[in-house]
Structure 1
Amino acid sequence: MRPTPDITALRKTLASHEAPRLSVAGRRFSFGVEGLDSALGGGLPAGALHEIIGAAGADLPEGEAFTALLAARAAQGRPILWIRQDLMANEGGMPDARGLAALGLDPGAFLLVRARNGEQALRAASDGAACTALGAVLIEIWGEPRRLDLTATRRLALRAAESGVTLLMLRLAARVLPSASHSRWRVAPLLSVPLEARAPGPPAFALTLLRQRAGPSGVAGEAPGQNWNLTWQLEWDRDQQRFRTPDSRRKPRFLDGPALSRPVAALPAGRPAGAGRADRKAG
């Protein structure tokens, strides 16, 4: 029995909607570090939700830099929607185009959205994840908003799977909560190794894989007898636009010598530094 024309047209319509999903299936984006990518089966899957956690609010600069760099590798030249909760700006200021350019990223590739609270940020991320014109969605959440639960993350994961848009969620000053993310990471600042002539070294990160679906995690004691050591020290290679492991031949020589110069308060001009205190006591 042949299908009726209406059924045939319906099948063609459904197939056209499935085509973008099939083109994304199996696609991965890598860190560029062989050992790390191998532990992930070749990299992280695109069109999925990945979670990055900074345990303390002081991890904001490193967390933002790492997530933005990872989003750029996931986007592969397409626009990136960057959603920030307003509290992030209060704690660490706004992203700077010159800082992104210093990392080798194109500031024009980022579309910045400000959200008043965590609920608005999650709603904007859900809308962004449905937009197939985007390469990635980066969402920043502070703490543990009431709306951030398993249901909300499952909704985001489904949107990402349907559109093929990779979604990266950065959570600062937060605990690990149940979520539908494909992978969960902890990022922390790492002392960078200086270059020749004691020039500042590239950005460096301490990265731990806490969870990945259908794979080992880096959490000691998560299962009896398991103690996976899935922690890496990474630095960013601006020229190659990828992460790499620090070169062991470069040693932090400044630790054995004088400290690098730092800005200090200017001394009063024309008189000793303690003169002001003496004048106040005399008065």
Structure 2
Amino acid sequence: MRAAHDVSALRQMLAGLEAERLPGASSAFSLGATGPDSVLADTLARGALHEIYAAEGADMPAASGFALALALRSAQAEGEAPPYPRPIVWVRQDFLDSEAGRLDAHGLRDLGLDPSRLILVRARDPEQALRAAGDAVRCAALGAVLLEPWGEPKALDLTATRRLALRAGASGVTLFLLRMAAKPSASVAVTRWLVRPILSNPLPADAPGAPAFAVALLRHRGGLQGHDWNLEWDHESCSFRDIAPLSRPVVSVPAGKPARQDAGAQEAAGDVRPFRRAG
């Protein structure tokens, strides 16, 4: 047991040393909320690797939403207002469709991403997902890359994360590693986040509020870890804001399914069509 503990500690130390040797990103992005930005100002690196973990299985949708929100923030050039023109690549292992559900075009638009700007890559196994993400992150024309494998694949080791981070540093494209059904392990990620959903503040007439997250910064290369924030996401400005205390419990989404719109209403609201397979 002692030897296993020593090996684990050595891996964590090596991960930190490797992170310090990675090429520095040319710029940084913020979350847009006063709480985290007062701590993390100019320290969230573009062109780097960031990790987002779901706290529990039921928290996977929240972790996905938070990861996409970070990707949108990192894709924003200085002085640029949404919507952002550069596409985002999401590399997703097929198995996640049955475990967490498929990505929904309406949901993406509600988070502030035009579905036409998303390139969805479905991989049959972790090895294929790593290869696809490694190729994508080399493309400097992208806004960001999300990599979503399932579980704790052996292929996703310290060497693999270092390779991905080096490619991100060379291209300037930020890579977000979304971890589901996995425990934190040695990597060269600049930041590591743990995400849970929380109740949202209601809109007028008790309409469902904005997506709300409880986030914990588990790791930061600059030593700023150990902070927790409650945040909500504004899809119009593509920015986080500190969540106000709730006066009473509310649910963040309707309890039942939304009413189906007729064709005229869909056309008036702007129809969002499902993804279509390319190639």
TM class, shorter-length: 0.7 to 0.9
Q: Mark the CA change 1:97 to 1:150 in structure 2 (over 3 Å): closer, same or farther.
A: same
Percentage identity across aligned positions? Answer: 54
Partner residue, 2:126: 118
Partner residue, 2:261: none
Give the CA deviation at 1:133: 1.3
Give the CA deviation at 1:42: 2.4
Q: Mark the CA change 1:149 to 1:261 in structure 2 (over 3 Å): closer, same or farther.
A: closer
In structure 1, the gaps of 5 or more residues are: 1-21, 219-229, 265-283
Bigger mean CA offset, 102-111 vs 167-176: 102-111
Partner residue, 1:217: 225
Give the CA deviation at 1:43: 4.4
Partner residue, 2:244: 247
Q: Matches of 1:235 and 1:159 in 2, distance apart?
A: 31
When the two structures are superposed, what TM-score results if normalisation uses the length of structure 1? 0.75
Partner residue, 1:70: 70
Q: Mark the CA change 1:70 to 1:86 in structure 2 (over 3 Å): closer, same or farther.
A: same
Q: What pairs up with 1:27-176 in 2 under 5 angstroms?
A: 27-76=27-76, 77=84, 78-176=86-184
One-letter identity of the residue aligned with 1:121 = A
Give the CA deviation at 1:251: 2.0
Give the CA deviation at 1:113: 0.1
One-letter identity of the residue aligned with 2:27 = R
What is the RMSD of the two structures over their aligned residues, measured on CA atoms?
Answer: 2.0
State how many pairs are aligned.
Answer: 226
Q: Matches of 1:174 and 1:133 in 2, distance apart?
A: 31
Instruction: Assess if the C-alpha contact under 8 Å between 1:55 and 1:174 holds in 2.
Output: no
Query: What does the per-residue CA deviation read over 1:93-141, in whole Å, with 9 as the maximum and x for residues that have no partner?
Result: 2111111112222111110000111111111111111111111100112
One-letter identity of the residue aligned with 2:67 = T
Q: Mark the CA change 1:33 to 1:146 in structure 2 (over 3 Å): closer, same or farther.
A: same
In structure 2, the gaps of 5 or more residues are: 1-22, 77-83, 258-279
- Decide which structure has the larger Cα Rg and report it: 1
* Structure of higher RCO (CA pairs closer than 8 Å, 6+ residues apart): 2
